[in-house]
Amino acid sequence: MSADPRLQLRPHIETQPTDHPEASFLHQTLRPVLKLQNDLLLRITQHFLQKRKVKLAKMSPAQRDQQIQHSIGKDNRLRGLLFGCVLGQFTTAELDYYLANEGEINRRITQLLVQRLQTQMERLL
């Protein structure tokens, strides 16, 4: 059986080796997938904010950050779309690990999405 072609698409991210499975999953799976899907995640979020008539340009930087965090944390439709973009890039083994650790991985994905979108705020305006 050959390696999953999705793995070849992912960008390489330099990290320190670790013995912790959670940290390993974070660095070897989540971060590369989020980086690979970055433009798509930004576009989906931008479209969502436009549909909801959220005017980030008129908000202070702190309000913008809070709006992003609130939107990803509380709006199930946006959250589902963004999570689908991430989970759709998992291999079968990664999906099995995700399903066994769903609560913790969901928390990590949410945290990483919020950070990624907040640091690229200018692309959402």
How does residue 71 score in pLDDT terms, banded at 50, 70 and 90?
very high
Q: Is the pLDDT of residue 2 over 80?
A: no
How far apart, in whole angstroms, are the C-alpha atoms of residue 86 and residue 50? 22
Q: 46 lies in a domain?
A: yes
Q: 15 lies in a domain?
A: no
**Contact call for residues 38 and 116 (beta carbons, < 8 A):** yes
**Number of domains within the chain:** 1
| DSSP per residue, 81-117 | HHHHHHHTT--HHHHHHHHHTHHHHHHHHHHHHHHHH
Q: 6 lies in a domain?
A: no
**Contact call for residues 85 and 13 (beta carbons, < 8 A):** no
Distance between first and last Cα of the chain: 45
pLDDT computed for residue 96 by the predictor: 98
Q: Is 103 exposed, middle or buried (0-12, 13-18, 19+ CB in 10 A)?
A: exposed
Q: 9 lies in a domain?
A: no
Q: 1 lies in a domain?
A: no
pLDDT computed for residue 55 by the predictor: 95
Q: 2 lies in a domain?
A: no
pLDDT computed for residue 15 by the predictor: 83
- The DSSP output letter for 26 is I
Q: 14 lies in a domain?
A: no
Q: 10 lies in a domain?
A: no
pLDDT computed for residue 17 by the predictor: 83
pLDDT computed for residue 124 by the predictor: 94
pTM for this prediction: 0.92
Domain that holds residue 28: 22-124
Mean pLDDT score, 104-124: 97
